[in-house]
Amino acid sequence: MPETTRKVRTPRSNVVFAFALALAVWVAWLARAAVLLLYVSALFAVVLNPVVRAVEHWHIRRWRPSKAASVAIMLLIVAAALCGFGFLAIPPVARDLQQLSSQTPSIPALIGKLHSIPLLNRLDGGQLTSRLQGFVSHAATYILLAVRDWAGKIANLLTALVLTIYFILEGDVAYAWFLSFIPPRRRDRLNATLRRASVRMGRWLLGQASLMLILGLCSTTVYALLHVRYAYALGFLTGLLNIIPVLGAAITIVLVLAIAAIHSWTTVLGVAIFYVVYIWIENSYLTPRIMQNRVNLPGLGILVALLFGFALAGVLGALVAVPTAVLVAELLQEYLVWKGSPFDGPP
């Protein structure tokens, strides 16, 4: 049998490799926004792969969906859920905005009402009008900047969605290409480690979906019982935003309390009590039972991952913090942690 030739590293090759690695790190730092988008898309593709495989096992008479058809079905389900949210949320909000606009006084009437306020009635009409116009112009500038910022975020979200679909459809080719750079003797070990990590990350999605469903159902029921306006739409949004750790819950709490304040302080108190009780139940019972058992990470590890993710990449970093922690934990367990007792001494 022919013997396989083994490449011998020379000082020149080591220097070239060091320069190539430094150049790659420098380019990655310059394009860190694009690298982060690619990483998040690839990670979500790994997390969503179990869902796609589950859809592939569906049987509709003699037809079984392919991977592309499974992705299309999953997108249709998401689009249907968003359409349902729009059907519940948009009509009452549009009706209230139309009613509010019909009751909003005109500029001259508003100036007249402002003149009736003490201290403001000392200003002449031209000065008050100029200040009011300046306030409106500043508010319009702020709104335009906010719209531009959100437009960029929506563009990044759509780009990440497209990249995630491509990673799901062609991820096996990219994964095999990545493994081809690893020496054959180490390739199998790394492949087995990454496969175990992907299974745990898929379990994270199931655990997170369970928490989102529980919060969505409980919040919708409480909002309906308290007669909060837009109860069903707010319940759907509360469950959906729970995928964003910490910040998602903060956004929904502020939004729901603001809408509840339109009704009465009793409604505000009821919503506040619900959130305090639910957060206590989720942190003390639901998260340890569902999330920690799914991903096999301690609560402290999950909290540290969320803090680092939010500090490094904001909301996007917090969103992928737990799957990244699962990947890092699996790699550390395989390559750095001793398999024996820590009191046995070095092998």
Tokens 């979906």 correspond to: 209
What's the pLDDT at 106? 52
Question: Which residues in 251-287 are b (16+ Cβ under 10 Å) and which e?
Answer: ebeeebbebbeeeeeebbebbeebbeebeeebeeebb
What's the pLDDT at 133? 60
Tokens 């970093």 correspond to: 317
- Mean per-residue pLDDT pooled into runs of 10, the chain (347 residues): 52 75 82 84 87 84 85 89 80 72 56 52 52 64 70 80 89 86 86 88 84 90 89 88 79 88 86 90 78 74 81 79 87 78 50
Contact 234, 275 (CB under 8 A): no
What's the pLDDT at 120? 47
Question: What are the structural domain ranges in the chain?
Answer: 189-337
> Three-class SS of residue 4?
coil
> Three-class SS of residue 289?
helix
Global confidence as pTM? 0.72
What's the pLDDT at 3? 46
> Three-class SS of residue 343?
coil
Number of Cβ within a 10 Å radius of residue 160: 17
What's the pLDDT at 219? 92
DSSP state of 106: P
What are the tokens at 318? Answer: 């917090």
